[in-house]
Amino acid sequence: MPVNKLLEDTKLRMEKSVDHIRSELAAVRTSKASPALVENIMVEYYGSQTRLRDLAGISVPEARQILIQPWDVSAVSAIEKAILKSTLGITPSNDGKVIRLVFPELTQERREELLKVAKKIAEDGKIAVRNVRREANEELKVMEKASEITEDDRFKAEKRVQTKTDDFIHKIDEVLKDKEKEILTI
């Protein structure tokens, strides 16, 4: 039955949206250092854009410090430039072999700004999930017009799509709630 395939595809696409939101929120800085903050920064390396995690080892030697050890020492300045261009707002210190990022304690004003960023990311994720729902419902209508399914089957399938949508919106809300707690923890 094509409806089951459509529902499975819809579920997978919604899961991808939630996973994307998790990774986006992981890159939102809190008072704790995390490799996720920098691993996806794109670095201009020998003429091509490369993720930082593919160019260097990233570790957290202290709670508020990230240590970046490039595998190729000649990449240090390119990595430093990419970090300065990023939205981190941190000035890296470079000793020629490794780069250190020291994260200062967040001010209340900065925490509120980060909360707004996190909420925007979560809202974008909800919009993506709703778009998947809309596309699935349109596909169900096309199936009904092509006499592949009955009107009752379409209504049942739309109800299942809505249930999935509600579940994934709830998951995004939970991820956001965890991130808010992390941002506000002093």
Write out pLDDT tens, residues 66-103. 898 998 888 888 898 888 888 777 788 888 888 998 87
Of the listed ranges 30-34, 73-77, 162-166, the least confidently predicted one is 30-34
CATH number among 1.10.540.10, 1.10.3720.10, 3.30.1360.40, 3.40.640.10, domain 35-102: 3.30.1360.40
Q: Does the domain at residues 2-26+107-184 carry the CATH identifier 1.10.132.20?
A: yes
Q: Give residue 92's pLDDT.
A: 87
Say yes or no to pLDDT of 29 above 70.
no
**Domain locations along the chain:** 2-26+107-184, 35-102
CA distance 20 to 165: 16
pTM: 0.70
Share above pLDDT 70 across residues of the chain, in percent, rounded to a whole number: 97
